[in-house]
A and B are shown apart, each in its own frame.
Chain A
């Protein structure tokens, strides 16, 4: 069999700086990547509430991520490690809202 193994070790190294225990959950290369590839898909598209510029306390953000809230899914430690989540929470908490709130573009009128 022709193997093209992706080096797990390499992925661990990328993420391990932000990983409390040596966990491959650290596939996130940092909080930015997690924000971009997960959170922002709802929270910058109008699907979920706008979070930027609200100075939400990081502890509150982390609580909602871990426990979920209504339609917002809960994210276990296997999906995002504590260190990455700390980073995301801090980023969101300190973010500013320069652009107007972007909601989903409505369908075109026929």
Chain B
């Protein structure tokens, strides 16, 4: 074991940006130090180590950064752009850097310099009247939550499952999702500040209007709406983001519905879609399968000591002994007592009429997991309980396979069958949930594998590639993907989309210095 302290900065970093000479890169590092101070320019192995930890099924060497630099101000980011353009150093911006299962903090390709914005962590404004916030990239959900609580501001956040350590800006610009009525985060985003590759600072929406006070209340501004091109992209570095927050409702009523059979997924969707579209169920509810539920409370070794795909009879045993459904719905109601009561009656009526599904209220669930953490997520609270997924098989490997699904029962049945079949071919498990959007569902499958076992890692890689291509053949594609599969995914969206992505890239970042390879986009 090594100790951390007093590691001398190596004369030459071990990895260089592609096409950049050692002496040019050393010059760039010197300039970064001038702009940021030596303590914000990291090149030694110990400081880089945390940024090389990935969960994807590839060697970390393919994603090893050349250095990490940490900016604190917009002006510093502008100056960094100038250096990068001159020396052709690619930078990979991260905000809170917790993109687990999508590439974590590491760049798409080796040799990029990570621009870590974790220190730009000001909550610039929270407007309790308009229910909006304006934050910098380094603000975490925990920090924002603490701010709201300490200032007695009755507003709720919407967070992804690792809420306690992730942050709103990074999550939203990668088009992440949460579980409240505001769960489609990019839809609830309003106004951005972006440093462009040429150093200009763009404010989107109403933000360009001098003396505006509408930046965080009107999304579209005038002319082409631009915010979208700064999400899942590499056209700029987002340095501020506005977002809408949800007023805390007088009554919050989370509940679960348990279904016994795998094929029930069809009826679940058919029963609940109309309620979601009509707003009776207002939140991004989830349908979690047996393994997702089980993983939240125990390792699979409790019931199965073998390797490979967990056999169906074991899952049946887990369902019976642990009281877990084949599918488990989590949804919630928000509003006044009267509103909640009306909607509750509609929901219980619909479930009864459908002839299946057992409703479990918060009172019945008590303090049990996974209900407890689901209830937290549906009110935007802090938790890390879902990391339980990683003790299911162990070994720390994870890639989200997340195809978009039309919220129709027949389609969920087809996708579930296909995914299960392919995962089974590779000895992996179908650990899945559907997160219900406005009309679509994100079919989230955690491709779990033992990353300490090279053979299993290879298998997981092959499995993921096949999932993408087989789903692709049937017209299904993922909403977001990890750094190992960005090009394959971009291909699924067609050559014209790739052409336009590249045309925008060439126009806005002609030297290709920002995050080359993000979403398959390069100059």
Contacts and interface: CB of A to CB of B under 8 A. Distances in A.
Interface of A: 1-6, 8, 21, 23-25, 27, 37-38, 41-42, 45-48, 59-60, 62-63, 66-79, 82, 104-110
A70 B296 CA distance: 17
Q: Which 5 A-B pairs have the closest CB atoms?
A: A71-B390, A70-B396, A78-B118, A74-B50, A76-B50
B391 interface: yes
Contacts of B258: 110
A72 B5 CA distance: 22
B368 A105 contact: yes
A66 B116 contact: no
B391 A71 contact: yes
A4 B127 contact: yes
Given A74-B52, A107-B371, 16 more contacts: A4-B127, A27-B143, A37-B164, A37-B382, A38-B164, A41-B385, A66-B4, A66-B50, A74-B50, A76-B68, A78-B97, A78-B118, A78-B138, A104-B385, A108-B323, A108-B360
A82 B387 CA distance: 25
B100 interface: yes
A109 B364 CA distance: 11
B118 A59 contact: no
Contacts of B293: 107
A41 B119 contact: no
Interface in B465-511: none
Interface string B394-405: 111010000000
Most buried by B among A47, A68, A72: A47
Nearest to A71: B390
A69 B100 CA distance: 14
B38 to A, nearest CB: 9
B298 A68 contact: no
Given A73-B98, A78-B70, A106 B396 contact: no
B387 A2 contact: no
Contact of A73 (B1, B42, B53, B364): B53
Contact of A24 (B72, B97, B126, B385): B72
A79 B47 contact: no
Given A6-B147, A48-B387, A108 B364 contact: yes
B219 to A, nearest CB: 16
